[in-house]
Structure formats: structure tokens, C-alpha cells
Amino acid sequence: MTELFDFISTNTTIYKLIIALLGVIIISVIVRIMKKTLTRYVKDQNNWYKTRKATNIFGFILAAIFLAILYSDMLGGITVVLGVASAGIAFSLREVIASIAGWLTILVGGMFKTGDRVQLGGVTGDVIDLGVLRTTVMETGQWVDADLYSGRIVKIANSFVFTQPVYNYSTDFPFLWDEITLPIKFGSDYTVTRELIRQVAIDQLGDYSQQTKEHWDYMVRKFIIEDATTEPMVTLTVNDNWVEFTLRYIVEYKARRSTKDTLFTNILKKIEAQPEKVQLASATFEVVSTPPVDVNIKNKPDTIDKN
């Protein structure tokens, strides 16, 4: 055993390797203890996620500093080797390097954060994790209508931020404009129909008015953008089959489907309560008249074959 210790103490490479392993293990234990301790004080799920991420990053930084100090006498040689191999490393790891750069861009630029609903690389969903190399998204849509979860978890390389657009549904303005259309029969009372739809929208979306106005005022101050109205708006168009009313309204980005369901339900109730003034149209065919049909039936006498 003494000879083994003497061999290790005289062999600098093995000695430093053992010290490095022990140091990394100790740092890992410290990080785990910190996580367990912080769990007692951080109860909110979102804050706990951020705290856990910050603790992991702290552990990586601490380990890197420890290893840099331990191998400080070898940094000169390592630098020369890395300088010679930098071209090959950059080419073979270009996607990894781009993903790390993308991760830093996301964090520093504030493009999105965990919990935001985004569209990244053609995938729409909620961001559930921001990794160094990949962003994890809980997918919405696809074979599921509206904005409901499909159940698939998608991992997207962070390098996409340099090559594709990033759509964020919730950062500065957590609302969306949406529309519903209603076909109304010709001959209905269009004034009553417009007011009926508008009143249902106001009753349903009135709570949004002040909140959305404040957010939009902030957007106008922050960006060069039109001061658009956030109040419900009803417009009318005509086609060959019916009169079409369109309700344009603003809604919280996660409540599009439920809000549309409530609006349709209340509007239909109002319309059915006034059938003499408003009637819904449908793609049906109505036979107005038929041409006269003249049918002549002549009796042909029976013939008897006497042969």
C-alpha cells in the first residue's frame, strides 16, 4: 500500500487525475445539498425550475474553475494543441457550437422563456425546458384542433434561432386577435344582427378591455406600431349565398378555444330567440318552381292474332 501511495505521489498526472475526480465528486455533493436545502424555501414551481437551473450552472462553473486551477501549469500546452485543432473542431462541432450560441442568444436576448407559448422550427407549443443544446416544447395542434396539447414532447436544436423565425405568443403582449364568422340569410334585420353579435362579445370579453388596453399601450410605447383598437368589432360582407358577419375580438392566448365556444353558444341562443328578425343561412338548395309537365296516355286497342 505504501508503495502505491509513493507511486501516485511521484506520478503527477495520476495524482492530479485523482484530485480532479475527488474535487468533481465533492462539488456534485455540494450541488445536491444546495438543491435539497433550497427546496424548503422555494415553493413556486416556476421559481423552483429557475433555481434548479441556476444551481446546476453554478456547479458547472465551480467545477470548471477548480479544474482550471488544478491544471493551470498545463494550460499553455493545451492552448497550443487547441489552436492547432481549432479548425477541425469548429467544422465537426459546428452544429453544437451554433446551438450553444443560440442558447446564449435566447437567454441574453430574452426571445422566450420557460412557460411561453411559441412556434419554433414549425412546431407550436409551450416551452417546458431550456437546455444548452436543445429547447424542449410540449406540442399543441397538429391532429388536435385549436391550441390543445397533442401529447408529444419535441426537442429542437437551439441553432434554429439563426435560421428560422421565432413566434412568441406571450412575451410582451399575451393576447391574440381571433375571428368568428356567421352566415345570415338575406332579408334578415342586419342592424339587429350586428348589435346582437356586438353585445354578446362585450358581455363575454368585457373583462379583457382594460387589461388588453394597458398591454397594448405598453407595446405602442416600446415599438413603432399602430395604436390599434382592442375592442370587439363586427363587420359585414356579402357573397352569392348569404350575408356574412365577422366578429373580430381579442383573447388571452391560452383561451382561444373556450372563448370561441362561449361566443358561438351565446350568439346562437340570441339568434334563435328572434327568428322573425334574424335567421342563419346554410348551403342548401331551394326549388322555387318547376316547369309544367304534359303527360298523354293513349289506349292502344288489343290486337288478336287470328292465324
Domain with CATH 2.30.30.60 in the chain: 101-168
Q: Amino acid letter at 184?
A: I
307 pLDDT above the threshold of 50? no
Non-local (6+) Cβ contacts of 167 within 8 A are: 118, 119, 120, 124
In the CATH hierarchy, which fold is given to the domain comprising 175-272?
Alpha-Beta Plaits (3.30.70)
Instruction: Please tell me the least confidently modeled range out of 113-122, 159-168, 292-301.
Output: 292-301
Distance from C-alpha of 122 to C-alpha of 164, rounded to nearest angstrom: 9
263 pLDDT above the threshold of 70? yes
67 pLDDT above the threshold of 70? yes
In the CATH hierarchy, which fold is given to the domain comprising 101-168?
SH3 type barrels. (2.30.30)
pLDDT above 90 covers what percent of the chain? 11
Edge-to-edge strands, sheet with 123-130: 149-157, 134-140, 123-130, 117-120, 166-168
What local confidence, expressed as pLDDT, does residue 20 receive?
Answer: 79
What local confidence, expressed as pLDDT, does residue 30 receive?
Answer: 85
Distance from C-alpha of 307 to C-alpha of 305, rounded to nearest angstrom: 6
Which residue pairs from 261-270 have beta carbons closer than 8 angstroms and sit at least 24 positions apart in sequence? Answer: 262/204, 263/180, 263/200, 263/201, 263/204, 264/180, 266/200, 266/203, 266/204, 267/182, 267/196, 267/197, 267/200, 270/196, 270/199, 270/200
Which has the higher per-residue pLDDT, 180 or 215?
A: 180
132 pLDDT above the threshold of 50? yes
pTM passes above 0.95: no
Non-local (6+) Cβ contacts of 91 within 8 A are: none
pLDDT in tens, 284-296: 655 555 666 666 6
Give residue 85's pLDDT band: very low, low, confident or very high (50, 70, 90).
low
- What grid cell was written down for 73? 501549469
**CA torsion angle 246 249 255 257 (round to 10):** 0
Contact 196, 278 (CB under 8 A): yes
Domain with CATH 3.30.70.100 in the chain: 175-272
Cα angle 112, 118, 121 (rounded to 5 degrees) comes to 105
Instruction: Please tell me the least confidently modeled range out of 116-130, 205-219, 240-254.
Output: 205-219
Give residue 143's pLDDT band: very low, low, confident or very high (50, 70, 90).
confident
pLDDT in tens, 104-122: 888 888 888 888 888 887 8
Q: Residue length, the chain?
A: 307
Instruction: Please tell me the least confidently modeled range out of 16-30, 183-197, 250-264, 292-306.
Output: 292-306
